[in-house]
């Protein structure tokens, strides 16, 4: 199942939000994250990378970014 990751900058987070600092991501996930932020488009990822992103609601980089993982065929929301 092809999965796509998108990120959206957000202003603030709640105390229940799970946050990952960008440096905590694997090198592969970090590479995808930077590409998504730079190009501002959803990016297709391997399932193991999608699983890594789905563990977190938000990734902290220069700003907070809400992370969404979706099935690219149906556009169904998969996680966070």
| Distance in angstroms (rounded) separating the CA atoms of residues 39 and 51 | 22
Q: Residue 53's pLDDT is what? A: 94
Helix (H, G, I), strand (E, B) or coil at 7: strand
Torsion, Cα of 46, 48, 53, 55 (10° steps): 150
What total number of domains does the chain contain? 1
* Helices then strands, each counted (H, E), the chain: 2, 6
Q: For residue 18, what are the domain limits?
A: 3-79
pLDDT band of residue 80 (cuts 50, 70, 90) is very low
Q: State the pLDDT confidence band at 76, using cuts at 50, 70 and 90.
A: very low
What pTM was estimated for this model as a whole? 0.83
Confidence tier at 72 by pLDDT (50, 70, 90) = low
């Amino acid at each position: 199942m092809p999965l796509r990751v998108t990120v959206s900058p957000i202003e603030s987070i709640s105390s229940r939000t799970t946050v990952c600092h960008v440096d905590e991501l694997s090198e592969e996930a970090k590479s995808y994250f930077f590409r998504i932020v730079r190009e501002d488009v959803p990016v297709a990822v391997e399932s193991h990378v999608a699983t890594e992103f789905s563990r977190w609601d938000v990734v902290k980089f220069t700003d907070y970014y809400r992370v969404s993982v979706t099935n690219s065929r149906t556009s169904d929301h998969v996680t966070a």
